[in-house]
Amino acid sequence: MAFHAAAVSYPTAMQELSETSLPIFNVERVSLQFDVSSDFVAAQVADNVLILALSSGRILRIDLDSPEDIDDIDLPKKASEIGVIRLMFLDPTASHLIITTSLSENFYLHSQSRQPKVLSRLKGVPIECVAWSPSNPTASTREILIGSGDGNVYEVYIEPSQEFYRREEKYLKQVYKCPDGPVTGLFTEMVPGRADTRRVLVATPNRLLHFVGKAGRHGHEGSGSIFSKLFDSEHPAVSEAAQASSTAPSSLTVSPQPQEMYLSITEGYERLYAWLSSQGILHGKLSASDDIGSLGNKVFAESKLLARNQIPLPGTSGRRKNNYPTISSTMLSQWHILQLVEGRIVAINQLDHSVVYDQPVLEQDEKALGLVADLTKNTFWLFTEQTIFEIVANDEGRDIWKILLKQQQFEAASQHAKSATEKDAVATASGDYLVQKGQYLEAATVYGRSSKPFEQVALTFIDNGEQDALRAYLTTKLSMMKRTSTMQRIMLATWLIEIYMAKLNTLDDAITSKAELTEGMNTADSKDQLAVIRREFQDFVLRHKADLDPKTTYDIISSHGREEELLHFATVVNDYNYVLSYWVQRERWAESLAVLRKQTEPEIFYKYSTVLMANVPVETVDILMRQSNLEARRLIPALLNYNKLADVPLSQNQAIRYLSYEINQRQSIDAAIHNTLISIYAAHPSKDESALLTYLEAQSYAQEQNYDADFALRLCIQHKRVHSCVHIYNSMGQYVQAVDLALKHDAIELASSIADKPINNPGLRRKLWLAVAKKVISESSGVKTAIEFLKRCELLRIEDLIPLFPDFVVIDDFKEEICVALEEYSRHIDELKKEMDESAVTAQHIKTDIKALDQRYAIVEPGERCYICRLPLLSRQFFVFACQHAFHGDCLGNMVVEQAGIGRSRRIRELQVEVSKGTSLGASREKLIKELDALVASACVLCSEMAVKRIDEPFVLPTDDHSEWAL
């Protein structure tokens, strides 16, 4: 047997409708492709699980996701003993099923079981309705409420058990008694935002009771009733049906969980309820409230009654008086009330009670079991004794925005409008409504999101003098406009600038004249509003700076004389050149520096450094020193201009401070920077040149000279900076000029220090000291003093100094010095004589060695080989050294050529060529051969200095036979 959920459209004419013309609801007959031996007597659907009860006592459990698998379940007792199944109750998770029969026998079936269990404690209770636990448990039912046909409400906790003697009901307790008839509907939930508070709805044919209060708590689950406290302590809010009939159908239904498509607009979603009575259908929201005590009254006060006379009779387009249709069953969808009315499915909108669907479904002799909703999957079903219908919703919320718009619920209508056209229609209607009520500011924002002609809206605000509303409208319109609409955005933004300026001027005028802009608005209010509008303007400029033409905006703001706004705009668009120029022209130096501190663009510093250095030099230099991307040479004109105007000591000179920072901290080597610093040092009126000299000495100490020495020398000579000039001469190696300049200015000590500089040039040093001596002798008051000073140089002798003294100086004044000099000469002569004697002895030794060389010889064995080519030595001309190394003449010559210097190698080759040609004869040839032998055989290539130079060569060369070295 198989169950196929493939639906057959009902009626078939619906198939011809296009998707856009589909009705909101459509009834489809579900084909059942399995044999049913008896009629349906009850049916339930939850979580896509279908439960069918047959008159034969069988129960079919079908998973609609896999309809081929069907559980066929039998009750534990025969129908003759317990009666036929009357009603079934399935929880939203499809985990728990309660079955009641015509003889009030009750059974429980868990989704994991195929064996219904008898609910012995509920024996004889005619169950009419069940309120499942709002936590939707699956292992057990937890605390549920059961309504009976005798008016009792029971609380029961059912937990499946495998033990034979254990009852399924952990406990059963009567918690409430309805005095006016059977309980036809129950519902409970947790009040949103209050986890410990429960809401309970109890429906009878005559009344709907609303309980709300805190539920009881116990040590562990199933230990006792949690609803007794609520029913005992709370007084319900009651809604009664006028002229109720006890025989009329009565039920209570709630809406399913919201569809995913509505989740974004149903945050804080409140469930809907509908109570069917003989009077009609009372429906509304189960809203939450901070005031729990008045919650029930609020729910009923906000509910609507769909009277039976509002439901069309079958076969009529209207309604007849005193003849009302019979509503057999009802349920709620997201937006509609679905009813089974005399064999027809009627769908009525909850908002305006309009009939959106009215379709005959049942044949004349068909009997309906009722409407059932799958609260989890949001599907709706109609069951008869032999047929199953599914009521399919086709985007049922598509026209909700229209209804809300008619009811002037514009915000809600905008939320439910889907397309841009729908949203535009809502916005336009909302704006028109607000304008009619005089709420122009609110209308401006709404109009800004609509497509209503721009001219009409703008003229409406202008004609009514609503400049604030016009500003709001233009702002909204600008924010909604595409980025590609460049011209339109510029025009709107420029218009808004004009409006802002006019508004600010109006407020300023009102404050100045202490006038009232509007009724009830005083000067303090005007000041507050001025601050608000100014902030709005600043935010507007910040957001829409790309939409503003700078020149036009400058002109508009300037024409209104708005200084603060002008500067704010220039700052926002990064026109710091304008801002600085503005403050500088007004000699507002603090503001100028504040702007300059925020800049990183070098050109701005170059442009304004001159004027700022002249007026606020310390702060300007502080800012310049924090910039790392400046070319210091481009600031030189500003520094020189400042130096020209500043009359301060060198220690306070800001130009020197900045240049020193560039040189010492940033290690500048730019000659222009160094020359500028020297020029400022040299040209300063102070006679103290220690600062300049310190700089020059630092350059020399670092072995650098980043300045132009000729330029520095000219400046120092021009401004008579003697010590600095001498230092520069010294650094240039011009010691004579340095000494002459120092002596010219009577700086004898300085000249003496310079005279000692050319240590490696004794002649120059002696010359310099003679010049110093001449100056000293010419200015000395005593001969003794002059001679003591001149003892500082060991190069000077008394005979060098005597010609320098005046003619009137007698020799007695030099007697001691002359004696000392003569004694020194005598000692020197003795030393020279000793050296001459030693040289004569050495010469004699050399002559003896030369004679001995003539008698030296070396023995060459017959088989001895050349140490270079390893061929027999006696085969051709050879050389033998005292170290006993022997070489062929040509082998030795080639090796010497390779190892000797360039000049010696070239000469050897030349001599070899001359000798080989044979052009020279006799003594000439002998001379060439002698020179060649002297160059080639001057030393052994294996023992002499030449061998030491070859120490880095490997023992085994790549060209050698490596096998000779094998171990």
Tell me whether residue 525 is in a domain: yes
Indicate the helix (H) or strand (E) that contains 550: helix 550-559
Q: What is the mean pLDDT of residues 503-529?
A: 73
Tell me whether residue 517 is in a domain: yes
pLDDT of residue 219: 43
- Residue where a domain stops, chosen among 808, 827, 848: 808
pLDDT of residue 330: 94
Co-location of 771 and 749 in the same domain: yes
Helix 576-585 and helix 563-572, axial crossing angle in degrees, nearest 10:
150
68 vs 966, residue with greater confidence: 68
In residues, how long is the chain? 967
> Could you report the per-residue pLDDT of 817-857, keeping only the tens digit for each?
656 656 666 677 778 888 888 888 888 888 887 777 666 77
Q: Which domain holds residue 547?
A: 481-573
pLDDT band at 2; cut points 50, 70, 90: very low
Beta-bridge mates of residue 254: 273
> Could you report the per-residue pLDDT of 93-102, keeping only the tens digit for each?
999 999 999 9
Rounded CA separation 550/554 (Å): 6
Co-location of 767 and 825 in the same domain: no
Q: What does R_g of the chain's alpha carbons equal in angstroms? A: 60
Tell me whether residue 626 is in a domain: no
Q: What is the mean pLDDT of residues 37-47?
A: 89
Tell me whether residue 880 is in a domain: yes
Co-location of 507 and 554 in the same domain: yes
pLDDT band at 5; cut points 50, 70, 90: very low
Rounded CA separation 634/644 (Å): 17
pLDDT of residue 1: 37
State percent of the chain over pLDDT 90: 20
> Could you report the per-residue pLDDT of 610-636, keeping only the tens digit for each?
888 888 898 989 888 988 888 888 988
Co-location of 795 and 740 in the same domain: yes
- Chain centre to alpha carbon of residue 554: 34
> Could you report the per-residue pLDDT of 490-500, keeping only the tens digit for each?
999 999 999 98
pLDDT of residue 11: 37
Residue 732 pLDDT > 70: yes
Co-location of 832 and 913 in the same domain: no
DSSP states along 740-796: HHHHHTT-HHHHHHHHTS-TT-HHHHHHHHHHHHHHHHHH-S-HHHHHHHHTT-TT-
Structure token digits, residue 72 = 């066929």
89 vs 81, residue with greater confidence: 89
Indicate the helix (H) or strand (E) that contains 85: strand 85-90
Exposed / middle / buried, residue 396 (Cβ in 10 Å: 0-12, 13-18, 19+): buried
pTM of the model: 0.58
Do 883 and 943 touch, CB atoms closer than 8 A?
Answer: yes
pLDDT band at 756; cut points 50, 70, 90: low
Helix (H, G, I), strand (E, B) or coil at 319: coil
Co-location of 843 and 804 in the same domain: no
Tell me whether residue 830 is in a domain: yes
Residue 223 pLDDT > 80: no
Most confident of 231-235, 290-294, 690-694, 862-866: 231-235
> What integer best gives the mean pLDDT of the chain?
82
Tell me whether residue 636 is in a domain: no
Helix 589-597 and helix 576-585, axial crossing angle in degrees, nearest 10:
160
Q: What is the mean pLDDT of residues 867-888?
A: 86
Q: What is the mean pLDDT of residues 508-534?
A: 73
Residue 8 pLDDT > 80: no
pLDDT of residue 268: 53
Residue 136 pLDDT > 50: yes
- Residue where a domain stops, chosen among 533, 555, 573: 573
Q: What is the mean pLDDT of residues 855-878?
A: 84
Q: What is the mean pLDDT of residues 369-394?
A: 91
Q: What is the mean pLDDT of residues 131-140?
A: 92
Co-location of 803 and 815 in the same domain: no
Co-location of 888 and 922 in the same domain: yes
Structure token digits, residue 36 = 């049913």
Residue carrying structure tokens 């709001």: 472
Q: What is the mean pLDDT of residues 66-92?
A: 88
pLDDT band at 428; cut points 50, 70, 90: confident
Range scoring the smallest mean pLDDT among 32-36, 110-114, 242-246, 661-665: 32-36
Any residues with CB less than 8 A from the CB of 237 and at least 6 apart, and which? 209, 210, 295, 296, 297, 299, 300
pLDDT band at 64; cut points 50, 70, 90: confident
Q: Which residue in 99, 269, 69, 238 sits closest to 168, CA to CA?
A: 99
Any residues with CB less than 8 A from the CB of 52 and at least 6 apart, and which? 40, 42, 43, 59, 60, 62
> Could you report the per-residue pLDDT of 175-184, keeping only the tens digit for each?
999 988 899 9
State percent of the chain over pLDDT 70: 84
Tell me whether residue 616 is in a domain: no
Any residues with CB less than 8 A from the CB of 157 and at least 6 apart, and which? 140, 141, 142, 143, 144, 169, 170, 171, 221, 222
Beta-bridge mates of residue 388: 30, 383
Co-location of 815 and 800 in the same domain: no
pLDDT of residue 222: 61
Residue 317 pLDDT > 80: no
- Residue where a domain stops, chosen among 573, 605, 636: 573
Question: What are the strands of the beta sheet with 272-277, ordered from one edge?
Answer: 251-254, 272-277, 280-285, 304-307
Co-location of 786 and 834 in the same domain: no
Do 425 and 417 touch, CB atoms closer than 8 A?
Answer: yes
Co-location of 485 and 553 in the same domain: yes
pLDDT of residue 9: 36
Question: What are the strands of the beta sheet with 106-110, ordered from one edge?
Answer: 85-90, 96-101, 106-110, 117-118
pLDDT of residue 515: 58
Range scoring the smallest mean pLDDT among 76-85, 370-379, 510-519, 739-748: 510-519
Residue 157 pLDDT > 80: yes
Residue 173 pLDDT > 90: yes
* H runs (alpha helix) in 684-747: 690-701, 709-718, 722-731, 735-744
Total structural domains within the chain: 4
Tell me whether residue 580 is in a domain: no
Beta-bridge mates of residue 391: 27, 380
Range scoring the smallest mean pLDDT among 58-72, 364-378, 757-771: 757-771
Rounded CA separation 301/287 (Å): 11
> Could you report the per-residue pLDDT of 554-613, keeping only the tens digit for each?
899 888 888 888 888 888 888 888 888 888 888 888 888 888 888 888 888 888 888 888
Co-location of 766 and 825 in the same domain: no
Range scoring the smallest mean pLDDT among 712-716, 768-772, 856-860: 768-772
pLDDT of residue 777: 63
